[in-house]
Amino acid sequence: MSKSKKSLFIFFSVGLILLAWNLWLHHDLTNMICSIDADKWSRATEEIAAQRYALATESDRLPFLPFLAQLGLWAGHSTIDALQLVSRMSWIFSIAILVAGFFHRYGPIPSAACAFALIFAQSYAQLTLEINAQILLNAEFAALLILGPILSRSSSPFAWILLGALAALTTVTKEQGFLLFPLVMLAFIIQNWSSRWLGLLGRFGAFWVGALPILAWLYSWLLSMWYRGLKFEQLRSDLNDLLKAESWSEAVNQNLYWGRINITYHQPTSYWDSLLNAWPRLTHDTGNHFLLSLGCFGIALGWLLYRRWKKLEFCMYGAELLWCVVMIIPMLPLFAMLLIEPYHLSFLQIPAMGLLAWSTAQLTKYTEGKWIFIALLPVFATLVFLTSRYQHIHNAVAGNLGACAAGRILPVDRWVERRFGKEHPVIYTDPMIRFDRLRPDSHSWITESQDMPKPCQTQALIATSEWTNGYDNIAPYLGGWQWKLAASIRSINQEIWEVYTPYCPK
C-alpha cells in the first residue's frame, strides 16, 4: 500500500473512531445551549432558512456556519442541533486531517506524537459544545496547514484555484480569517517565487479565481452587517474609548461593550502586565500546548543547525515550517488588542501540532536504535506534562456537559431551594442532567411519559423546557388537573423552564 493510501486509511479510520465516540456520548442529547452566542447564531441560521438574508446580517455573524447548518435543518434537526452537528464534524475533520497529514509528510512517529497530544487538548475538544464558528475555522486552519504546501507546489491550476477558495472560506467563517487570507496569499507567492514571472502571474491569477467569488460574497455580507449590525460599531466605540483615555489606569477602567479590562485581567498595572495576565485566560491549555511545542521546536532547530554546521545530511521541511508560521501570525494582533474571548485563540492548537510534528520529525529522521529515544526526550517530556496536567478529551467534554447542565438548571434549583428546600426532589426532562456530578441525589431525569410518577405517589416537581429532549413526550401530560404550573423561570440564552407541582385531591 502506498503512503498516500495509508494516509487516506488513517484519515477515515480516525474520523470514524471519533464519530462513533461522539455519537455514543451525545446519543440522547439535543439543544445543548451551552454557548452565550447560541441565540444570535440560531437566529442567523433561521433567517437564512427563511431566505431573509438581510435580516440574518443583523445577528452580526458571518455566513458560512449558518449556511452549512442548513444541511442539518434539511435532515430534520433543530437549529441548535444543526449548528452543533457542524461543530462536531469540524472537530473530527481537523484531528483526522492533522494525524493523516503528518503521517504522510513526516511518518508514523510524529503523527503518533501529535495524536497523543490532541487526546489531552481539552479546551479544543470542548469547542464542540459551543454554538459558534470557531471550531469550523480551526478545521479550515488544519486543512490549510496540511494541504497548503501541497497545493502551492502543485503544477495543476485546479490546485491553485482550490487553495484560493479554501483561504477565502476562512474570511466568511470568522473574523480571524481576515488576518489569515493575506498571509496564505503571501506564503503561496513565496513558495512559487522561483517560477518565471509569467508562470507566477498565472498561478496568482488561478488563486484569485478561486478566492474572488467567496470574497464577493463576503463583501456583500459585511456591507449589510455594517449598516444593520452592532458588532463593528461596538468595537469601534470600545477602541475609540481606549485611545481617548489620558492614562493607562483610566483606560482599563472604561466601561466598554466588551467589559472592563481592569476586572477581566486582574487589575493590570501596565499594558505589558495586561498581556501577562491575559495569556492564561485567553489560551487555557492551548497556550501550554503552543509553548511546549515552541520549546521542542527550539531544540529541533538547534539540532538542525548543528547538522548543517557539521555539513551532515539534513531536511529542512521549509514549506511546512512556513505554513506553521502563517498560522501563528494572526494570533499577534488579536492578542495585542486584548478585547477578545478565550476561544478566539484556539486556532493556535493547529500550528502547535504543526511545530510538534516538525520537531519530532527533525529529531528522529537521522537517528537510529536507542538514539531515537534520547532524541525524543523533549517530546516525551511534553507529552508527560500534558498527560499529568490535563484531562483527556472524554472527561473534558463530559465535564463541560455537566457544567452546561448545571448552568441551565441553576435558576430552577435556586427557586426550588427557596420554596421547598434544597433536598426536595426534582425531575428534569433532559438526560444532560446525568453529566452534572454536583447535583443532589434528589434530582433525576426522564424523557418518556410512561416514566412519569403518579401525582398521588410523589412529592417531586417536574421541570421542563421546550429545549429539553423529553419535552414533546411529557409536556402534553402537564398543566392539567394532576400537574399544576408553579413557576416559569428564565435561564441562560432565554431558555424558559416550567416547573410543575403534583396535585392529589383528597
> Which pLDDT score is estimated for 211?
97
**Rounded CA separation 394/119 (Å):** 9
Q: Look at residue 226 and tell me whether its pLDDT is greater than 90.
A: no
What CA–CA distances, in Å, run from 267 to 248, 263, 344? 11, 6, 22
Within 8 A by CB and 6+ apart from 357, the residues are 102, 105, 106, 110, 111, 113, 114
Give per-residue pLDDT as tens, 179-188.
999 999 999 9
Give per-residue pLDDT as tens, 328-385.
999 999 998 888 888 899 999 999 999 999 999 998 887 776 677 777 888 888 888 8
> Which has more pLDDT, 208 or 375?
208
Write out the H or E segment, with its range, that includes residue 502: strand 496-502
Work out the average pLDDT over 319-324.
94
Give per-residue pLDDT as tens, 233-263.
888 888 888 888 888 788 888 888 778 888 8
Q: Look at residue 489 and tell me whether its pLDDT is greater than 70.
A: yes
**Rounded CA separation 214/203 (Å):** 18
Work out the average pLDDT over 32-50.
85
Give per-residue pLDDT as tens, 123-172.
899 888 888 899 999 999 999 999 999 999 998 999 999 999 999 999 99
Q: Look at residue 13 and tell me whether its pLDDT is greater than 90.
A: yes
Work out the average pLDDT over 311-324.
88
At 506, is the pLDDT very low, low, confident or very high (cuts 50, 70, 90)? Answer: low
Give per-residue pLDDT as tens, 260-296.
888 888 888 888 888 888 898 888 889 999 999 999 9
Give per-residue pLDDT as tens, 65-103.
999 999 999 998 889 889 999 999 999 999 999 999 999
Work out the average pLDDT over 34-54.
87
Give per-residue pLDDT as tens, 416-452.
999 988 889 999 998 888 888 888 888 899 988 888 8
At 320, is the pLDDT very low, low, confident or very high (cuts 50, 70, 90)? Answer: very high
Partners of residue 443 on adjacent β-strands: 426
**With DSSP H G I counted as helix, E B as strand and the rest as coil, what are the percentages for the chain, rounded to 5?**
70, 5, 25
Q: pTM higher than 0.85 for the full model?
A: yes
> Which pLDDT score is estimated for 349?
96
